[in-house]
């Protein structure tokens, strides 16, 4: 039997990289997409290929660029001649208050978090249908409840949640489509760090009173891709009970 292949967007670090490692351990070949983290992506590919030769490759792409989206899909399908899984993990997250958000903010967040997954699936659709494949979209608990000062991020994730359910109906029975909705797993990086008081406020509303681990998300995605042949149209919260007390 041929080795199954998955494309994971934004897989050079954090949750995407952990998911790649988890699927690789289950015997999958991986196409690792990255935008700017070439060194990390190549290091991950080398690590996976040391464990199992010719089992991983990487492809760069700016997901706000339609030509790059098409090229990423083309590389993913052609490298091993098949595609069994698509994991839309890449995401942009930063505050965009309604009074100050710009069109550039709108385009960056909505194009990365919502438009790119749509057209990436469109380009991958023939290969996924042929393989009776599976799609997992990275949603967020804030797709259902607003996060202050993040209207564009919340809208993008709410849209992706809607697409997840729509695709599950439209693409059945050939393709299963599900989502994973993380809570507090890894705190934000970059120009929007979260101070300790804000972190603690989130943990105070989390039933398990702690952060999760990247392995928790990777395990949920692996379950939906590998071990859930009768599950489609579902968005699995992996949030320590945070959604019980938003």
Contact between 15 and 214 under an 8 Å Cβ cutoff? The reply is yes
Q: What pLDDT is stored for residue 216 in this prediction?
A: 87
Output DSSP code: residue 52. S
Confidence bin at 26 (pLDDT 50/70/90): very high
Cβ-based neighbours of 48, under 8 Å, separated by 6 or more = 20, 21, 24, 30, 55, 56
Q: Is residue 142 domain-resident?
A: yes
Contact between 22 and 15 under an 8 Å Cβ cutoff? The reply is no
Contact between 198 and 150 under an 8 Å Cβ cutoff? The reply is no
Q: Is residue 197 domain-resident?
A: no
d(CA 115, CA 66): 9
Q: Is residue 119 domain-resident?
A: yes
Confidence bin at 182 (pLDDT 50/70/90): confident
Q: Is residue 79 domain-resident?
A: yes
- Both tokens of 168, joined, read 């599950």
Considering its fold, how many domains does the chain have in total?
A: 1
Q: What percent of the chain has pLDDT over 90?
A: 76
Q: What is the pTM of this model?
A: 0.92
Strand-pair category, 235-238 with 176-182 = parallel
Q: Is the pLDDT of residue 1 over 70?
A: no
- Both tokens of 118, joined, read 């749509």
Q: Is residue 194 domain-resident?
A: no
Confidence bin at 199 (pLDDT 50/70/90): low
Instruction: Give the residue numbers marked as catalytic.
Output: 153
Q: Is residue 77 domain-resident?
A: yes
Contact between 14 and 37 under an 8 Å Cβ cutoff? The reply is no
d(CA 84, CA 26): 13
Q: What percent of the chain has pLDDT over 70?
A: 86
Supply the range of the domain harboring residue 122.
Answer: 5-187+214-237
Edge-to-edge strands, sheet with 235-238: 56-60, 29-34, 5-8, 85-88, 134-138, 176-182, 235-238
Contact between 89 and 11 under an 8 Å Cβ cutoff? The reply is yes
Domain of 182: which CATH number? 3.40.50.720
């Amino acid at each position: 039997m041929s080795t199954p292949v998955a494309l994971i967007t934004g897989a050079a670090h954090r949750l995407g990289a952990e998911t790649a490692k988890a699927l690789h351990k289950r015997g999958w070949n991986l196409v690792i997409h990255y935008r700017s983290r070439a060194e990390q992506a190549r290091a991950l590919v080398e690590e996976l290929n040391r464990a199992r030769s010719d089992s991983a490759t990487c492809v760069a792409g700016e997901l706000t660029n339609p030509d790059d989206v098409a090229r990423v899909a083309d590389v993913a399908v052609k490298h091993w001649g098949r595609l069994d899984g698509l994991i839309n993990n890449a995401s942009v997250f930063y505050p965009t208050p309604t009074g100050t958000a710009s069109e550039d903010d709108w385009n960056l967040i909505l194009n990365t978090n919502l438009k790119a997954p749509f057209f990436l699936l469109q380009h991958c659709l023939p290969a996924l249908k042929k393989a009776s494949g599976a799609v997992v979209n990275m949603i967020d608990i804030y797709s259902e409840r607003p996060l202050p000062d993040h209207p564009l991020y919340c809208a993008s994730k709410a849209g992706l949640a809607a697409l997840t359910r729509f695709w599950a109906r439209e693409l059945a029975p050939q393709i299963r489509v599900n989502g994973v909705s993380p809570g507090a797993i890894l705190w934000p990086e970059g120009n929007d760090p979260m101070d300790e008081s804000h972190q603690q406020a989130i943990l105070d509303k989390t039933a398990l009173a702690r952060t999760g681990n990247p392995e928790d998300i990777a395990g949920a995605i692996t379950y939906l891709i590998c071990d859930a042949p009768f599950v489609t149209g579902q968005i699995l919260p992996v949030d320590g009970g945070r959604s019980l007390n938003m």
